[in-house]
Amino acid sequence: MSKNGCWCHHSDPCGLCCVVFTYMLLCFADYVVDHALLYPWLGDTASYQLLKLSFFAISVLAMVSHCRTMLTDPGAVPLEYQPNTLLANEAANKMAMCSRCNGFKPPRAHHCSQCDRCIVKMDHHCPWVNNCVGINNQKHFVLFTFYTATLSLYAIILLIARAVYTAADGHPARAHGSRFTQRARGDAAIEGGGRFVLMAFLFFEALLFGLFTLAMLTEQLSSIITDQTGIERLKHDYVAPSRSWLHNLSETFGRPFSLLWLLPTAVKYNGLTWYDLLPQECEV
C-alpha cells in the first residue's frame, strides 16, 4: 500500500460483510423510495422526478464518500519513515518506536491491529467502512455519516408526507395518466400489502441508521473541533493547542475553506497532501 497505490483492507471478514450490508441498505432505500413510495403516489410528474433525483443524488454522495473512506490510505506511516534532523532534535532523539512496525512512530500516530500499520491521527478502526479513520480519510468518513443521516431524514419525511396524503385523500395512490397505469400494472409484485411492508422496512431502516450515523457524525465533529481523536481521549497522550474551530476543521477537510469540503475529494493543504507534509528523508 504505497503513496500512489490503492489502499484495500481485505483480511477482515466482518468488515467486508459490513461493507456489503451497507451498500445493500442504500440500494434498498433507493428502490423503495422510487418503486414503492414516490411513483405510485405522484406518478410520472415533475414533482416525482425532482424528489427522486434529489434522493438519488444524496444516496450517490453517501456511496462515493463510503467508497473513498474504504479505499483511501487513512494515513499509514511509511515503513521507510525516518524523522528529519529538526524533528529529531525537537524530540530530543526520543521519538517513539513501534515494535510491531519496527520503525519510528511520528507524533499522534497509533498502531492499528487490524490494518497492522501505524496511522497518523487514528480515530478508530470502523468495520462499516472496513478501514481505519485517520488524517487522510476522516473527511470522507464524516461526509459518509452526514449524507447517510441526511438520506435517512429525507426518507422519513417522504414516508410521513405519503402517509398524511393517503390519510387525507382516502386512497393509497392516485393514477396520473396511462404511463402511470402501465407501470403500476408492471409493479404488481409490490402492490397493496407488499408495498406497505417495503415502506415499513424503509422507515425502520431510516430511523435506526439515521440515529446511528447522526451519533457518529456528532462524535466525529466533536473530535475534530476539539482536535483530539477518540484514541487520544482514551489514552490521554495528547493535549490539543488552543486554536479556533475553523482551523481545526481545516486540519481534516483541507485548506483553504471551499465548497470541496462538501464533496469526497482528496484532502489537500494549499495543494499539498499529508504525505508531502510528513517530515521524512526517504522516498515512499
Tens-binned pLDDT, residue by residue, of the chain (284 aa) = 445 457 887 778 899 999 999 999 999 999 999 999 999 999 999 999 999 999 999 999 999 999 999 999 999 998 877 776 555 555 545 677 888 888 888 888 999 988 889 999 999 999 999 999 999 999 999 999 999 999 999 999 999 999 998 887 765 555 444 444 445 444 444 466 788 999 999 999 999 999 999 999 999 999 999 999 999 988 888 888 889 999 999 999 999 999 999 999 999 998 888 888 875 444 43
Please tell me the pTM assigned to this model.
Answer: 0.87
Which positions ≥6 away from 266 have C-beta within 8 Å?
A: 72, 273
pLDDT of 23 reads 97
pLDDT of 81 reads 79
Which positions ≥6 away from 171 have C-beta within 8 Å?
A: none
126: annotated active-site residue: yes
Helices (DSSP H) in 91-226: which residue ranges?
A: 138-169, 178-186, 193-226
In contact, 195 and 60? CB cutoff 8 Å: no
pLDDT of 189 reads 42
The Cα 80–Cα 94 span in angstroms is: 18
pLDDT of 97 reads 83
- How many CA atoms lie within 13 Å of 52's alpha carbon, on the beta-carbon side? 19
CA 190 centroid distance within chain = 31
pLDDT of 244 reads 92
The Cα 123–Cα 113 span in angstroms is: 13
pLDDT of 5 reads 58
pLDDT of 12 reads 84
Point out the catalytic residue in the list 27, 126, 132, 282.
Answer: 126
CA-closest candidate to residue 72, choices 208, 218, 274, 276: 274
pLDDT of 235 reads 87
Burial class of 140 by CB neighbour count within 10 A (0 to 12, 13 to 18, 19+): buried
The Cα 65–Cα 45 span in angstroms is: 30
DSSP annotation of 190: G
pLDDT of 279 reads 59
pLDDT tens, position by position, 236-256 = 888 888 899 999 999 999 999
